[in-house]
Structure 1
Amino acid sequence: MIPELLVYLLKVNGALLLFVAVYYTLLRQLTFHTLNRWYLVGAILFSALYPLVDIEELWMQPAVFDNELLVWRSSWTTTQAANSPTVDYASWLLALYWVGVALASGRLLLQGISLYRLHHVSHPDTSGLAFRHVPRAVTPFSFWQNIYVNPEQHSATELQAILLHEQVHVRQWHTLDVLLGQVQRVFCWFNPAAWLLQRAMQENLEFIADRAVLQTGHLDSRAYQYSLVRLSTLAQGPALVTPFTFHPLKSRIKMMNSQKTPLLQVARYFLAAPLAAALLLGSCTQAEKELAVQPSTTAAQHTLDNALYFVDGVQSTKEAVEQLTQDPNAVATMNVLKGEQATSQFGKAAAAGVIVITTKANENSAAVVAFNKQFSPTMNTADALILIDGKEANEATLKQLPASSIKEMKVLRGAAAEQQYGARARNGVILVTTGAAGLGKLNQLYDHNGVIGITNKKC
């Protein structure tokens, strides 16, 4: 079985791939930079959260069944030969994943330390301008609410352009976007889409700042672009920041000189809605759908805990039965009586049901045969509705199921059966779930007024 974490990671990274493909194909060339910012942030948050949401809960209410439903979960497990070990590839993949997360986290931590050291050697500017003075050559950048620059490297006009640009990053809290992109890259380090998305976020933030600077009218467009080219040769700051120059400059200069996108092109963003809807619907598995109409495991367990148990005609306990069923070859037949069928023969003490087990060692005993004939009637279920893993099947198919395939069986009769499955279920419903654990070779299954019989014969 695939671990839940691995399934979650596949869903998250698959969504990231789709959102990044939409961005680079349809949205990146648009001048709606603020919309692009929220699209990219939303893509990360949606991808991380949608696998955790079950949208069926918004409109589906669990069906309420009457007391004619009894659940029996097998505690028998199959064993593998010692000379045929299996490799747990899923565990190895998860181990490799966490190694990658650790390395990416270490890289991010080193970048944070580098930024802290740079902050420690800088000091607030004494000329009255809102920035921190860095005493060494570095590309101007901002982080959180601070701007870092060495004013001795720049002319007055160039310093004005730098401060105008970085103040946009500070006012609009662009550091939050950068940190979000860095974190998603740590946990999705193996996905190229995570790296492309983080780069797209930083590039788009520069588009926003460049446009805001030019809209002030304080700087000439050509002079501003020339400053970008000249400062691109300086040493880069830490990766956690929003630098004044971000490579490649070609895309920034091209965007500054491009025509404003017509408002009609906003319609492209609506393509993300059906993509998000498809991902949400795709995350609803068949197993989750079945859980919406089945009684809780707690209720089923309560029923089994309070049932009466008989082994070879002698009343026993649930613990003794569980110990006995550890060896599936020891059991010949198992019958479960529920509802009126149970109380009419065993009294009020059988209100939670009766489980009758016959061992192979005593199946031919006269006393056991007499007991089973009286209290464990078996009836033909050819007319019952049989569902195996949600698909309709016939009695012959049910009898041919392999020994290791049956994990769980449920019997539903009466009004509850017809309410859930229609007129086809008037003779009862037998629900079978296959899995790694089994009840042994299933040769016969009987159901009549709440009776289910299981015969386990060695083939």
Structure 2
Amino acid sequence: MMTKVLLTFVATIVLYYTYKLLFGKCNRFEICRITLLTMSVFAFVFPFISIEISKPLPEYFLTLENIEILNNNNVNVETESVNNNSLSFLQIISLVYIIGVVISFVKIIFNIYKIHKIKIGKKLEIIDGFKVIYTSENHIPFSFFNNIFIPDNTNPLILKHEMSHVRHRHSLDIILMEIMISFQWFNPFIYKMKKELQGLHEYIADNETIENETDKSNYMMLLLQQCTADNYNAIANNFSFLLTKKRIVMITQKQKSKKMVIRMLLTLPVFALLILLNTQCDNPKPQNQVRGIDVSTEYDVESDG
């Protein structure tokens, strides 16, 4: 099990930097979103993908001469002691890992519970098929699946932004990333992938919100005004302003599709190399087989007594 966990750790590092190199400055956000999700899922799936390699094993004849067999009882005891210590250390590491996974899943469940608890006693309105819950708290508007949580008197553009999150099912992306984080809770690169994905969600929603707006400056001012509000929940699609500066820059840029196909094709060799790495781990170099043994000589046995 721990081997597959380690392989996933290595894969997230490789794929994260591959994404940053090929797509870090790309403004085709939906394509980047699909690519990043594919890379993230692949990092967890590829340890279970391997190509079986079978090679004929060479045959050797071995001649043993002048073998002296000593009393090695003490050596055996020391070896067994070392093996037992190594096994205990691995068990401890596995136990710590499992505890971390359980705690991470508990956090997901708790955050979902917090979101559903907000709806109790709050004003609910159905707008264009979306459930809009009005809260009295001063928090950043956010959405979770078909539910949109906004303070009273929220600007319609902000509501339109959250509707875009719901329409593109961004909550599914976040839940998927949170599950993967649970299995790699110690891995900083899976958190970086989540942050990149959340940024893409905001860029997609921003572009859709201002698509038919002639004056984009009004929307950009709204982004700046919301910076003082509180971020309510880690697993919701928050109207995030940590990326405010970059979002404003992205709003002013036009989307380009230059060399997108080439970039996507360049990811394929990386996937292939990772599968090859897993294949090497699953198919270690076989030991040479000994078919015949020609033993000639004497045996000097030393023993106590």
State the TM-score bracket (shorter-chain normalisation).
Answer: 0.7 to 0.9
| Structure 2 length-normalised TM | 0.80
Higher RCO structure (Cα 8 Å, ≥6 apart):
2
> Which aligned pairs between 1:38-49 and structure 2 lie closer than 5 A?
38-49=34-45
Q: Quote the Cα distance in structure 1 between the aligned partners of 2:126 and 2:282.
A: 65
Structure 2 SS opposite 1:54: coil
Alpha-carbon separation, structure 1, partners of 2:128 and 2:45: 45
2:63 corresponds in structure 1 to none
Q: Distance in 2 between matches of 1:119 and 1:61?
A: 59
Q: Determine the structure 2 residue equivalent to 1:314.
A: none
Change over 3 Å in CA distance of 1:129–1:7 after alignment to 2: closer
SS in 2 for 1:204: helix
Indicate the residue corresponding to 1:51 in structure 2.
47
Residue 122 to residue 48, structure 1, CA distance change in 2 (3 Å):
same
Contact 1:121/1:134, CA 8 A, preserved across alignment: no
Query: 1:170 and 2:68 equivalent?
Result: no
CA contact (8 A) 1:122 1:135 kept: yes
User: Which residue of the other structure, out of 247, 253, 256, is the alignment partner of 1:252?
Assistant: 247
1:189 aligned to which of 181, 185, 189: 185
1:206 touches 1:246 (CA, 8 Å); kept in 2?
no
Q: How does 1:20-419 map to 2 (within 5 A)?
A: 20-56=16-52, 79-81=76-78, 86-87=85-86, 88-125=88-125, 130-137=130-137, 138-150=139-151, 152-154=152-154, 158-159=155-156, 161-215=157-211, 217-218=212-213, 220-285=215-280, 288=283, 389-390=287-288, 411=291
**Partners of 1:83 and 1:21 in 2: how far apart?**
42
Shift in Å, 1:51 = 0.9
Partner Cα distance (1:267, 1:213) in 2: 30
Q: Contact between 1:122 and 1:132, CA under 8 Å: does it hold in 2? A: no
SS in 2 for 1:185: helix
The percentage of aligned residue pairs carrying the same residue is 21
- Cα RMSD, aligned residues only: 3.0
In structure 2, relative to structure 1, the CA distance for the partners of 1:288 and 1:197 (3 Å cut) is: same
The structure where helix makes up a greater share of residues is 2
Q: How far 1:205 moved relative to its partner?
A: 0.8
Take 1:118 and 1:104, find their aligned partners in 2: how far apart are those partners? 22
Question: What is the deviation of 1:128?
Answer: 7.5
CA offsets 1:200-257 (integer angstroms, 9 cap, x no match): 1111111111111222x14621111111111222222211111223412111111112
Q: Distance in 2 between matches of 1:257 and 1:91?
A: 54
Q: Structure 2 vs 1, CA of residues 286 and 242 (structure 1 numbering), >3 Å: closer, same or farther?
A: closer
| 2:198 counterpart SS class | helix
The 8 Å contact of residues 203 and 246 in structure 1, kept in 2 or not, is answered as no
Task: Specify the SS of the correspondent of 2:185.
Answer: coil
Provide the C-alpha distance between the structure 1 equivalents of 2:92 and 2:243, rounded to a whole number of angstroms: 38
Aligned pair in 2 of structure 1 residues 280, 226: CA closer, same or farther (>3 Å)?
A: same
Cα distance 1:52–1:127, how it changes in 2: closer, same or farther (>3 A)?
Answer: closer
Distance 1:162 1:285 in 2: 51
Contact between 2:126 and 2:132, CA under 8 Å: does it hold in 1? no
Provide the C-alpha distance between the structure 2 equivalents of 1:128 and 1:49, rounded to a whole number of angstroms: 38
Change (3 A) 1:222 1:91: same
Deviations along 1:139-174, one digit per CA (max 9) or x if unpaired, are: 211111222223x233xxx22x12221222112111
**CA-CA distance at 1:264 after TM superposition:** 2.3
Which is greater in Rg? 1
Q: TM-score, structure 1 length as denominator?
A: 0.55
Query: Please, which runs of 5 or more residues in structure 1 have no aligned partner?
Result: 64-77, 291-387, 391-408, 412-429, 431-444, 448-452
Gap runs ≥5 in structure 2: 57-74
Structure 1 pair 287/129, CA: closer, same or farther in 2 (3 Å)?
Answer: closer
Instruction: Return the letter of the residue paired with 1:214.
Output: I
Q: In the comparison of the two structures, how many residue pairs are matched? A: 279
CA distance in 1, matches of 2:202, 2:94: 36
1:295-350 deviations in Å (ceiling 9; x for gaps): xxxxxxxxxxxxxxxxxxxxxxxxxxxxxxxxxxxxxxxxxxxxxxxxxxxxxxxx
Q: Is the 8 A contact 2:50 2:282 kept in 1?
A: no
Identify which range, 267-276 or 130-139, moves more after superposition. 130-139
SS of the equivalent of 2:180 reads helix
For residues 275 and 288 of structure 1, what CA distance do their matches in structure 2 show? 20
